Amino acid sequence: MELRIALAQVNSAVGDLDANSSAVRAVTARAVAAGADVVLLPEMVLTGYPVEDLALRGSFQRAAAARLQTLAAELAADGLGATAVVLGSLGTARAERPTNVAAVLRGGAVEAVYTKHHLPNYGVFDEYRIFAPGDPDDVVVVEAGGHRLGVAICEDIWVDGGPVAAMADDGLDALLVLNGSPYEFGKGAVRRRLTRDRARQLGCPVLYVNLVGGQDDLVFDGHSFVVDAAGDLVAASPGFVEDLLLVALPGDGAAPTTPAGYALPPERSDIAQMYEAIVLGLRDYVRKNGFEKVVLGLSGGIDSALVAAVAADAIGGENVVGISMPSRYSSDHSRDDAADLARRIGADYRVRPIGPMVEAFLAEMDITGVAEENLQARVRAVVLMAVSNSEGPLLLATGNKSELAVGYSTVYGDAAGGYAPLKDVLKTHVWELARWRNEAAAAAGEEPPIPWSSIEKAPSAELRPDQKDSDSLPDYDLLDNVLEGYVERSLGREELLDSGFDPETVELVLRLVDRAEWKRRQYPLGPKVTAVAFGRDRRLPVTNRWRERL
Amino acid sequence: MELRIALAQVNSAVGDLDANSSAVRAVTARAVAAGADVVLLPEMVLTGYPVEDLALRGSFQRAAAARLQTLAAELAADGLGATAVVLGSLGTARAERPTNVAAVLRGGAVEAVYTKHHLPNYGVFDEYRIFAPGDPDDVVVVEAGGHRLGVAICEDIWVDGGPVAAMADDGLDALLVLNGSPYEFGKGAVRRRLTRDRARQLGCPVLYVNLVGGQDDLVFDGHSFVVDAAGDLVAASPGFVEDLLLVALPGDGAAPTTPAGYALPPERSDIAQMYEAIVLGLRDYVRKNGFEKVVLGLSGGIDSALVAAVAADAIGGENVVGISMPSRYSSDHSRDDAADLARRIGADYRVRPIGPMVEAFLAEMDITGVAEENLQARVRAVVLMAVSNSEGPLLLATGNKSELAVGYSTVYGDAAGGYAPLKDVLKTHVWELARWRNEAAAAAGEEPPIPWSSIEKAPSAELRPDQKDSDSLPDYDLLDNVLEGYVERSLGREELLDSGFDPETVELVLRLVDRAEWKRRQYPLGPKVTAVAFGRDRRLPVTNRWRERL
């Protein structure tokens, strides 16, 4: 008998049990109306992900457990009780930690619970801190319409052994994999290859559903997909949007099929995907934290121009407050480019020269050199935060990864802000993204959002006369290559020299990065904890709808 | 045969392999001169602790491994090769992570390596992220002078099972435990009880050596000690200072003995210990990061007065730059108290009224209400950071845990600073610490450092006319009790109500804390990472002497 399975790629918010639960009910109703017998949802969709130390709070654990039971009953009351709904949530504690689970809801009850076995604990993941692992032999197989569907969660298919190996001889008709897999440059190909290998290992199709949406410093890209038993791609959801993907498992062990008229979404370029990830991350950070607008300083340079264009794409240009804050070192072309950009994206544009405020400090104190450069950047931050406090918009920091890595920014100055859309984007990618966005606009017959002169002129901080980035830093092509080795790949000095970089450049970049890294950590906003009397701050999500007081 | 063992309670710095190695050589020479046959040093003393993600850098792993071999040879060259030196360091990787090890150096070589089995991964610890655990059956027993000495590292004795259980029938003559155990209020009694239980379990004395010194947001308190097979205390080092503690194990299985003239150090009160922890944490943060001076705003209030007194105790009053920055809302008594404090501690005292700078912003922008309060705090931060940038002192933030918890502070304003000595100190403890410090001075016949009026007056932020903390917050005794339940013990709303707090107070405090926690995380200095292209920042220590470029 043919079994129809819907992969529901949804966007949930950490802590918002009611809204996430409503989203599950709504998408299940849509899936069933489209003919689905089974609905598959992402990892921890009910609680949001990553929950960080919120998972450790007893009151939240109890609320999540209760919400899951209620959801099962609500689905039945909605007339969806015959459908098997497989979704991720927070599970009952084992020993002293809760678990990361996939629950199977059917017939108004929680029919089965699978506990994630392989817990990632590297890079952005800290799951050993907050979860207890499931027993690798405690597998869950969902029976539906004569089919046997194995269940696994994300990291379970990235590591050999564990539940996938335990199910190898179970005669599965398909493997359902619930994921909370964040976007990384080029990760799509890795996911496909890995899933292909698991399909071949199990000899059955694999259905991979992923979260979509921004959550604090992560962006989940969606890109859910289905491969057949040979590992070949059958169907896929687009990235960076919610989606409902329907496939059917024939009763005869043949490959999964797609509905009439279905076509695979086009592949996007790496730069296009990066742009979409940045837009989605910004939009969800703003909206999930309850903001309507953003504010940022517009210098006329490429970084603030790109951030403004991203913000306009994310929440609409009319919700972007752009403030030009010229000093005596600002060039005319900078002011013109800032105004031109604001016009192109339809921003709420204001001009606020900082001369009088800077002069007030200089009249009282003896401030020169780099301290004077920092003063200008900090006066601008005070202006921007006053607008944020008075009118409510979220302040965006416009720094890119290259300049932040080498410390080419001011603590409590241009580094100030609640969200920095380019913090993980190297300067060479900033230019590529700006060109891509402008060319996409031109191809669509629209006015490009970013003034071409902002893209083409030599970068300058304009904090002293005739200052250029190239006075202090290597050429950005070279700098980004060294940063890629030193920061991303953790290469040491010797390894960088062996890669062919010249000793002077390596020396300069390592000195700048080490110093900047130290300064950045030395001036955190949430200042140092002395661990006197109590422990270090727990790690909680920023975007977190869970409130004890509700 | 009697075996003499020295417990070397030393202060090491993360990443400074050369200095830490020299410290091991120096203290070993002193111990041997005092008659020691075995020298026991703390967990990861060679690399410093906690190393955070520095442990994952291949170049650092290789450097630490090489340094350990070199150290063994140097000890032999120093004429100390006959002594068994047991010390903590970073061990060779298993799978993809390095290990946390205790190495036994003797005869110019690394004789044995024990790998920590139980890895703490809660609160301030994240050891699963950076270490692979050792096999629980791979025990190391050091043979010296006919004695058999088992080896364990910190968490190994906090958890049942593992290597301590594996050694239960090994006929040990003593257990050596290397620790990196940070100070917490009341933790000493827990350590003693735990160690007593392990001594009884093994039927032998336990020698517990701990790191001492501040390392970023942790303070290691030392307090090394020795118990006999019954778990009774034989000898102990004082807290918060380096120390060398010598005990002897008689050859006949009798209890350990101490040298003639040895006396246990006096027990200090909880408040005295907290004060010492704050002083040590500040001193080491300043010195290990290469600063000589600190700068802070002196308001005349209790928080800045206590921080200034702590700083004077830590690095000398002459190295404390205290700046009074009165506004039109500042009272006369505040200015007087600030000046009086500065005189008492011998600070470099300056007065810088902020009126002209604040007026410059108000003349250009329409800023009122809370935004105007924040403006004043931010102008002060700009003044303080200008001094920091021009003259080099580290800026201290003076906020306490209670006000930070409820958001009674300004982002980029009074929350600015590289180190916040009171961040983990509740307001009620701030008053207790100030009184304790003044009374200790009076008892010693010295002038108390803190003006009594700063301790006794009602707390006020003085950001608007006649403002008092009590306008916005519950009484601090009550507030701190609710915070202790909600923040420290993670109690939920229902549990707090069950504890007897009235609903209005619970409602207010939970709303303030949730909002403040959100704002604090929303405005980090290292702004949000979008995980585009590359991963989230690795966690590196602030105080970190390891530099690739060296």
Q: Residue A291's domain is classified under what CATH number?
A: 3.40.50.620
Could you list the beta-strand ranges (E) of A337-408.
348-351, 394-395
For residue A386, the chain B residues in CB contact (below 8 A) are 361, 365, 367, 371, 374-375
pLDDT digits (tens, 9 = 90+) for B196-224: 999 999 999 999 999 999 988 889 999 99
Confidence class for position A521, pLDDT limits 50, 70, 90: low
- Please tell me whether residues B198 and B311 are part of one structural domain: no
B152 in any annotated domain:
yes
Contact at 8 Å (CB) between B57 and A492? yes
Which tokens sit at B136? 């629980």
A527 in any annotated domain:
no
d(CA B355, CA B379): 10
| Average per-residue pLDDT for chain A | 91
- Please tell me whether residues B342 and B458 are part of one structural domain: yes
Interchain contact, B510 vs A548, CB within 8 Å:
yes
Q: Which amino acid is at A428?
A: T
**Residue with the larger pLDDT of the pair A404 and A113:** A113
d(CA A252, CA A249): 8
pLDDT digits (tens, 9 = 90+) for B514-544: 887 777 666 653 333 333 323 334 555 555 5
d(CA A275, CA A298): 20
Residue B479 has φ and ψ, to the nearest 5°, of -55, -50
Cα maximum dimension of chain B: 85
Specify which of A93-97, A412-416, B40-44, B211-215 reaches the highest per-range mean pLDDT: B40-44
3-class DSSP state of A82: coil
A113 in any annotated domain:
yes
**Per-residue pLDDT, A539:** 57
d(CA A192, CA A182): 14
From A107, A140, A136, select the one nearest A119 (Cα to Cα). Answer: A136
- Please tell me whether residues B253 and B283 are part of one structural domain: no
d(CA A454, CA A437): 13
d(CA A103, CA A77): 18
Residue A78 has φ and ψ, to the nearest 5°, of -75, 0
**Per-residue pLDDT, A205:** 97
**Per-residue pLDDT, B419:** 87
Q: Which amino acid is at A450?
A: I
Which tokens sit at A323? 């403030």
From A306, A522, A527, select the one nearest A407 (Cα to Cα). Answer: A522
Of B129, B389, B528, the CB nearest to A122: B129
Which tokens sit at B204? 């032998």
Which tokens sit at B514? 């949730």
Mutate to test the interface with B, among A185, A362, A490, A525 (most CBs of B within 10 A): A525
B389 interfaces chain A, CB cutoff of 8 Å: yes
d(CA A54, CA A17): 13
B235 DSSP β-pair partners: B226
- Please tell me whether residues B319 and B351 are part of one structural domain: yes
**Per-residue pLDDT, B532:** 31
* Residues in binding site of B: 122, 181, 187, 297-304, 374, 398, 403, 519
Place of tokens 């984007």: A425
Quote the distance between the C-alpha of residue A512 and its chain's center: 28
Specify which of A404-418, A514-528, B5-19, B510-524 reaches the highest per-range mean pLDDT: B5-19
- B293 catalytically annotated: no
For residue A529, the chain B residues in CB contact (below 8 A) are 217, 420, 423-424
d(CA A538, CA A318): 37
For residue A523, the chain B residues in CB contact (below 8 A) are 395, 416-418, 525
**Per-residue pLDDT, A537:** 46
Confidence class for position B256, pLDDT limits 50, 70, 90: very high
B475 in any annotated domain:
no
Q: Is the pLDDT of residue A283 over 50?
A: yes
Task: Give the CA distances from residue B537 to residues A120, A214, A241, A532, in Å, rounded to whole numbers and listed in that order.
Answer: 16, 17, 26, 26
Residue A391 has φ and ψ, to the nearest 5°, of -115, -15
Of B364, B368, B520, the CB nearest to A526: B520
A504 interfaces chain B, CB cutoff of 8 Å: no
Specify which of A420-424, B3-7, B182-186, B248-252 reaches the highest per-range mean pLDDT: B3-7
d(CA B104, CA B84): 6
3-class DSSP state of B232: coil
**Per-residue pLDDT, B546:** 62
Confidence class for position A92, pLDDT limits 50, 70, 90: confident
User: How much is the average pLDDT of A415-435?
Assistant: 91
Classify residue B182 by its DSSP letter: B
- Please tell me whether residues A161 and A298 are part of one structural domain: no
Find, in chain A, the residue whose alpha carbon is nearest to that of B418: A523
Contact at 8 Å (CB) between B310 and B450? no
d(CA B76, CA B109): 8
A244 DSSP β-pair partners: A8
3-class DSSP state of B528: coil
Interchain contact, B423 vs A529, CB within 8 Å:
yes
**Inter-axis angle of helices A355-364 and B355-364, to 10 degrees?**
170
**Residue with the larger pLDDT of the pair B317 and A546:** B317
d(CA B418, CA B520): 15
Contacts of A365 (CB under 8 A, 6+ apart): B352, B383, B386, B387
- B359 catalytically annotated: no
Which residue among A205, A227, A261 closes a domain? A261
From B472, B448, B440, select the one nearest B459 (Cα to Cα). Answer: B472
**Per-residue pLDDT, A542:** 57
Interchain contact, A375 vs B357, CB within 8 Å:
no
Q: Is the pLDDT of residue A315 over 70?
A: yes
Q: Encode burial over A7-31: b for 16+ CB neighbours within 10 A, e otherwise.
A: bbbbbbbbbbbeebbebbbebbbeb
- Please tell me whether residues B241 and B131 are part of one structural domain: yes
**Per-residue pLDDT, A531:** 30
B129 in any annotated domain:
yes
Q: Is the pLDDT of residue B53 over 90?
A: no
Could you report how far apart the first and last alpha carbons of chain B are, in Å? 47
**ipTM for the complex shown:** 0.91
- Please tell me whether residues A244 and A357 are part of one structural domain: no
Domain hosting residue A125, numbered range: 3-261
Task: Give the CA distances from residue A175 to residues A171, A257, B56, B537, in Å, rounded to whole numbers and listed in that order.
Answer: 11, 15, 34, 34
**Which percentage of chain B shows pLDDT scores above 90?**
72
**Per-residue pLDDT, B540:** 58
From B474, B462, B549, B545, select the one nearest B507 (Cα to Cα). Answer: B474
For residue B486, the chain A residues in CB contact (below 8 A) are 548
A312 interfaces chain B, CB cutoff of 8 Å: no
pLDDT digits (tens, 9 = 90+) for A128-154: 889 999 998 999 999 999 999 999 999
- Please tell me whether residues B129 and B28 are part of one structural domain: yes
d(CA A404, CA B111): 45
pLDDT digits (tens, 9 = 90+) for B441-472: 999 999 999 999 999 988 888 888 888 888 88
d(CA A182, CA A191): 11
Which residue among B468, B485, B520 closes a domain? B468
How near does any CA of chain A get to the CA of B482, in Å? 13
Which residues of A form the catalytic set? Answer: 43, 116, 154
**Residue with the larger pLDDT of the pair A96 and A448:** A448
- Please tell me whether residues A185 and A239 are part of one structural domain: yes
For residue B520, the chain A residues in CB contact (below 8 A) are 525-526
Instruction: Indicate which CATH number applies to the domain containing A142.
Output: 3.60.110.10
| Average per-residue pLDDT for chain B | 91
d(CA B305, CA A357): 30
**Which percentage of chain A shows pLDDT scores above 70?**
94
Of the candidate ranges A221-230, B314-323, B483-492, the one whose mean pLDDT is the lowest = B483-492
- Please tell me whether residues A352 and A447 are part of one structural domain: yes
User: How much is the average pLDDT of A320-331?
Assistant: 94
Confidence class for position B277, pLDDT limits 50, 70, 90: very high
Q: Is the pLDDT of residue B239 over 60?
A: yes
Place of tokens 């450049």: A505
Contact at 8 Å (CB) between A75 and A108? yes
Question: How would you write A8-57 as a 3-class SS string?
Answer: EECCCCCCCHHHHHHHHHHHHHHHHHCCCCEEECCCCCCCCCCCHHHHHC
Question: How would you write B504-517 as a 3-class SS string?
Answer: HHHHHHHHHHHHHH
Contacts of A489 (CB under 8 A, 6+ apart): none
- Please tell me whether residues B210 and B277 are part of one structural domain: no
From A214, A389, A386, A210, select the one nearest A287 (Cα to Cα). Answer: A214
B150 in any annotated domain:
yes
B402 in any annotated domain:
yes
Interchain contact, B530 vs A424, CB within 8 Å:
yes
Contact at 8 Å (CB) between A265 and A236? yes
Number of domains in chain A: 2
Alpha helices in B260-330 (DSSP H): 270-288, 302-315
A532 in any annotated domain:
no
Which residue among A232, A261, A290 closes a domain? A261
Per-window interface: A 245-304 vs B, CB < 8 A: 274, 277-278, 281-282, 285, 289
Contact at 8 Å (CB) between B60 and B544? no
User: How much is the average pLDDT of B170-182?
Assistant: 95
Interchain contact, B386 vs A370, CB within 8 Å:
no
Task: Give the CA distances from residue B523 to residues A262, A412, A417, A421, B461, in Å, rounded to whole numbers and listed in that order.
Answer: 44, 11, 6, 13, 22
Confidence class for position A428, pLDDT limits 50, 70, 90: very high
- B154 catalytically annotated: yes
Classify residue B130 by its DSSP letter: H
- Please tell me whether residues A223 and A189 are part of one structural domain: yes
Interchain contact, B375 vs A382, CB within 8 Å:
yes
